[in-house]
Amino acid sequence: MKKLNPEKVARLHSYDDLLNKKYGKRGTPERAASENKAIAYYFGEILKARRKELKLTQQQLADKAGKERSYIARIEKGETNMQLSSLLKISAALGLKFSLHE
């Protein structure tokens, strides 16, 4: 079994260390903004994957959800944060269901 080089181990950083360096510590406006962007991107990817799975165009999804196609495009690119009501409408149009648990 290969041994770890202590000098290399000492130079390793945790993921949190890297985020702190790039976006600031937890609780700072910069870190909150980066986390919000990450969440928007994540939800956009989920919705886009489901839309493609159903073989819907962005326009078809927009029509089913009562939204503009450009809004669907911005969501899928992670460029906008959705209100909960929009998330629920789009999710329903995609046949996705949510449940809240305590």
Domain ranges across the chain: 14-93
Spatial distance between the Cα atoms of 47 and 55, rounded to a whole number of angstroms: 12
Give the pLDDT band of residue 4 (cuts 50, 70, 90).
confident
pLDDT tens digits, 43-97: 999 999 999 999 999 999 999 999 999 999 999 999 998 899 999 999 999 999 8
CATH match for 14-93 among 3.40.640.10, 1.25.40.10, 1.10.260.40, 1.10.1070.11 = 1.10.260.40
**pTM score:** 0.75
Average pLDDT in the 2-28 region? Answer: 82
Helix (H) or strand (E) holding 38: helix 29-53
Task: Tell me the C-alpha distance between 42 and 19, whole Å.
Answer: 17
Q: Give the type of residue at 70.
A: S
